[in-house]
Amino acid sequence: MVIRCLEGGPRRFSELRVPLRGVTAKVLTRSLRKLAADGLIRRSAQARRVEYELTPLGRSLLGPMEVACAWAREHWEELLDAREGGAAAEPTPDTLRGRRTAAPERGVARLVNHQS
């Protein structure tokens, strides 16, 4: 998630906290340190201003991440069914036919309602 938040350019810690509001400061700090240690982000400090930005290596992850997101959108209904315990062990083409075109938005609504 941090990688996607830095996609648009450098951001300060407080700017990262907004889209990642469900993540504690401690966990975000730990994640930023690990990503920097792995060479995926760069931390730069200049006169009381610390910013984080993607390195070229980190930016190279954006393409594969988008492919993974596209896969998740395509299989959203199957993923929700599996999470809810309603998926068969091996789905058949007949059970998949209607799901391949299912809108992820519909699945999001189901997930939100399920968590309430």
Taking only the tens place, the pLDDT of each residue in 57-87 is 999 999 999 999 999 999 999 999 898 886 4
Which domains does the chain carry? 2-56 (1.10.10.10), 75-115 (no CATH)
Confidence tier at 90 by pLDDT (50, 70, 90): low
Question: What is the model's pLDDT at position 96?
Answer: 55
Question: What is the model's pLDDT at position 60?
Answer: 96
- Nearest residue to 84 via CA among 53, 111, 49: 111
SS3 per-residue string spanning the chain: CHHHHCCCCCEEHHHHHCCCCCCCHHHHHHHHHHHHHCCCEEEEEECCEEEEEECHHHHCCHHHHHHHHHHHHHCHHHHHHHHCCCCCCCCCHHHHHCCCCCCHHHHHHHHHHHHC
Pairing of strands 41-46, 11-12: unpaired
Whether 79 contacts 106, CB under 8 Å? no
Model confidence at 12: pLDDT above 80 = yes
Length of the chain: 116
Question: What is the model's pLDDT at position 21?
Answer: 87
Question: What is the model's pLDDT at position 97?
Answer: 53
| Most confident of the following: 37-41, 77-81, 91-95 | 37-41
Model confidence at 107: pLDDT above 50 = no
- Nearest residue to 75 via CA among 47, 98, 94, 55: 98
Q: 27 or 91: whose pLDDT is higher?
A: 27
Question: What is the model's pLDDT at position 108?
Answer: 41
